[in-house]
Amino acid sequence: MVVEVKNLTKRFADFTAVDNISFSMGKGEIVGFLGPNGAGKTTTIHMLLDLITPSGGEISIFGKDFRKHREEILQQMNFASPYVSLPYRLTVFENLMVFACIYNIEHPKKRIEELLEMFEIADLQDEPAGTLSSGQNTRVGLCKSLLNKPKLLLLDEPTASLDPEISHHVREILLRIREQENTSILYTSHNMAETENICDRIVFLNHGKIIADGTPIEITKAILNEERNEPALEEVFFRVIKDTKTI
């Protein structure tokens, strides 16, 4: 397994944001991490990056204890979220060069140019990061997340600020990278159609707990509690919210 999480918990004072969750991810698997706002998705991702310390539980990545092999593991991972902004005075190229140095990338200039081409933002390389639109900033963040050819990629709402055409292009890139490099990808999104389209498996979180784990069609049948031939994650989402409110 690439990721194995056991009984992971995060408490902020007396509030439990992530409540005793266990899940795993296989090599080359794209797992959708779904759930309403406040479900605990970002908190979990931040624990998988060691940005915050768990209150309890265990994380193993690439078969190794994350706490004991932190640096070695983080070298082979990466992360993107449109809510992270880059140092605004540095140009796009300079920003990516800083990360390329941190990750010790060979031939950094070539790798940066390749990624900027891939995301169709080569013309922005000399622009200061502070002048970018949110969609452009998101694409620079995605370039950053692929610099080190990560074996595990954590993407927190990567398409949230992208128009449908660019968002489709990004998903095609991710599928191609998974095909070529067997990258495992944890993916959060509030767009259920795109989640059905790209994810092999869904882990559904609500109030910090995992309420379902399976393929999109398995999740649909389990939560709607009826026979279906096609996944219907949007219906699943509304059902989860409705049931939560009536409890």
Ligand X SMILES: Nc1ncnc2c1ncn2[C@@H]1O[C@H](COP(=O)(O)OP(=O)(O)O)[C@@H](O)[C@H]1O
Q: Which residues bind ligand X (CB under 6 A)?
A: 12, 15, 17, 35, 37-43
Name which of Mg ion, ligand X, none residue 225 binds, using a CB cut-off of 5 to 8 Å depending on partner kind: none
Give 40 or 231: the residue with its C-beta nearer to ligand X.
40
The least CB distance from residue 157 to ligand X, in Å, is: 8
For residues 129 and 214, what is the distance between their CA atoms, to the nearest angstrom? 39
Q: Please, which residue, 116 or 208, has the CB nearer to Mg ion?
A: 208
Nearer to Mg ion by Cβ, of 121 and 141: the residue is 141
What's the CA gap between 166 and 143, in Å, rounded?
14
> Minimum distance from CB of 69 to ligand X (Å)?
25
Residue of the chain from 29, 42, 183, 187 that contacts Mg ion (CB under 5 A) = 42
Report 185-214 residues binding Mg ion (CB under 5 A): none
CA-to-CA dists, residue 185 to 25, 200, 216, 221, 236, angstroms: 9, 10, 16, 24, 22
Strands (E) across 26-173 are located at: 30-34, 56-61, 64-65, 77-80, 152-156
Residue type, 21: I
Q: Which is nearer to Mg ion, 96 or 199 (CB)?
A: 199
Given the complex with Mg ion, which of 93 and 187 has the nearer CB atom?
Answer: 187
| CA–CA separation, 209 and 205 (whole Å) | 5
Only segment of 42-50, 69-77, 110-118, 206-214 that touches Mg ion (CB under 5 A): 42-50
45 within 8 A of 79, measured Cβ to Cβ: yes
Q: Applying CB under 5 A, which residues contact Mg ion?
A: 41-42
